Amino acid sequence: MTTPGGTRVRVVHERDVPAADAWLDPVERKTLAGLHVPKRRADWLRGRWAAKRAVAHWARLGESPSDLARVGIRPAPDGAPEAFVDDRPGPVLSISHSGPWAAAAVAPRGPLGCDLEEVRPLDDATVDLFFTEAERAEMRREAAGSARDQRTILLWSAKESALKALRAGLRRDTREVEASTGREAEAGWGSLRVRDDADGRVFEGWWRNLDGLVLTVVEGCAPSRRE
C-alpha cells in the first residue's frame, strides 16, 4: 500500500515468512543464528521479511530468494534500520512489529518512521504517564470503549513513528512529542501531525485502520512553527 504522500508500506503476517533462510544475506544469517529468544527471533524475521520485500520493490528487483538476498538490512548504532542493495545505500526504511504482524515503510528520503499497533485498552496510569494533556483531551472526545481505545493507540503509534523518524525511540520522553489527528482523509488514510517540543518542528504523516491494527507513517516535516 502507498500513503497519500507516496511512502510505500508493506505489511506481512508471520505465516508468510519462509521457513528456509535463503532470502537472508550472510550477515543476516549470522545475526539470526545469534537470536535465541523465540519472540525476538520471530519479530526480527518478520520485520526483515517485510523490509527486504519493500526495498526489493523500490529497487525493481523480484522477490525470489536470490533477489531478496541482494538486499541487506543493517541496524545503525542507534538501532534504526538501514537498507542496502548490492551493498550500496538504498531507500530510507522504517520497521515495526506487532503481534504476528510486521510493517516496513520505504521512501526516497527521510524523515521517515512507521509503527504498527494492535488496538487495545490502555489503563489510566499508562495514559497519564505517556501522553500530554492535549492528547488526553483528544482521546476524551471519543466515547469510552473501542472508539477511545483506537484513538489512544493511534496517538501512541503516531508518537512512536515520530520518535523513529527522529531516530531517538524511547530514549526521549514520549510527552516531548505531541500527536494530533487532522481532518484530511484520502483513500482510507487519515492525516496526522506530531510536534516535537524540543525545536517546534512538526512531523506530518498518515494513519489507517487495518482490521484491529493501527498503522501510522510519519513521512515529512513542516518548517518549525514555534510561536
Ligand X SMILES: CC(C)(COP(=O)(O)OP(=O)(O)OC[C@H]1O[C@@H](n2cnc3c(N)ncnc32)[C@H](O)[C@@H]1OP(=O)(O)O)[C@@H](O)C(=O)NCCC(=O)NCCS
The residues that touch ligand X, with contacts defined as CB under 6 A, are 43-44, 47, 75, 78-81, 95-97, 115, 160, 163-164, 167-171
Contact (Cβ atoms closer than 8 angstroms) between residue 194 and residue 218: yes
Nearer Cβ to ligand X (61/114): 114
Nearer Cβ to ligand X (97/201): 97
The least CB distance from residue 183 to ligand X, in Å, is 27
Grid cell digits, residue 49: 521479511
Grid cell digits, residue 146: 473501542
The least CB distance from residue 202 to ligand X, in Å, is 19
Nearer Cβ to ligand X (129/170): 170
Beta bridge partners of 208: 215
Nearer Cβ to ligand X (115/219): 115
Q: In what order do the strands lie in the sheet with 113-118?
A: 113-118, 213-222, 202-209, 189-196, 177-186
Nearer Cβ to ligand X (171/225): 171
**What is the spatial distance between Cα 24 and Cα 46, in angstroms, rounded to a whole number?**
12
Contact (Cβ atoms closer than 8 angstroms) between residue 184 and residue 191: yes
The least CB distance from residue 110 to ligand X, in Å, is 10
Q: Which are the contacts of 117, defined by CB distance < 8 A and separation ≥ 6?
A: 98, 153, 156, 157, 160, 213, 214, 216
The least CB distance from residue 88 to ligand X, in Å, is 20
The least CB distance from residue 60 to ligand X, in Å, is 23
